[in-house]
Amino acid sequence: MWLFYFYHFHEDTIMLSTRDCLDYLNLTEDELAEVVKHENLQVIMAIKKCSCLLDSPEGLLYLHTIFLNNFNNSYNSGDFVGAQKCMSTYQGFLEKYPFPNYLSSR
């Protein structure tokens, strides 16, 4: 799952890996995999989408919804192992990115 991205600045080349991007966003590979699964995106597009969604309370709420939808889909289809994995991944995400305060009071 390692992709490499190249940016050219004058004569220098900077290479970023998927791990670099995930570290910057403070996401795990499992969390990214849930977004890839739900949104049916390639890894690089899911990283970009997560980057945008993490910048706003509404986007953060959408990411929470992704995890809950994946859990429901796995559970309803009888994939209890997948549902358990999704829920444990979501618990880690929830510790890092709790629900936005102003949304929880509505």
Angle, vertex CA 28, rays to CA 96 and CA 45, nearest 5:
110
Report the predicted TM-score, pTM, of the whole model to 2 decimal places.
Answer: 0.80
The pLDDT score that the predictor gives to residue 33 is 96
Q: What is the pLDDT of residue 3?
A: 47
pLDDT digits (tens, 9 = 90+) for 10-47: 556 677 788 888 888 999 999 999 999 999 999 999 99
Among left, alpha and beta (phi > 0; psi -120 to 50; other), residue 40 is left
pLDDT digits (tens, 9 = 90+) for 65-93: 999 999 999 999 999 999 999 999 999 99
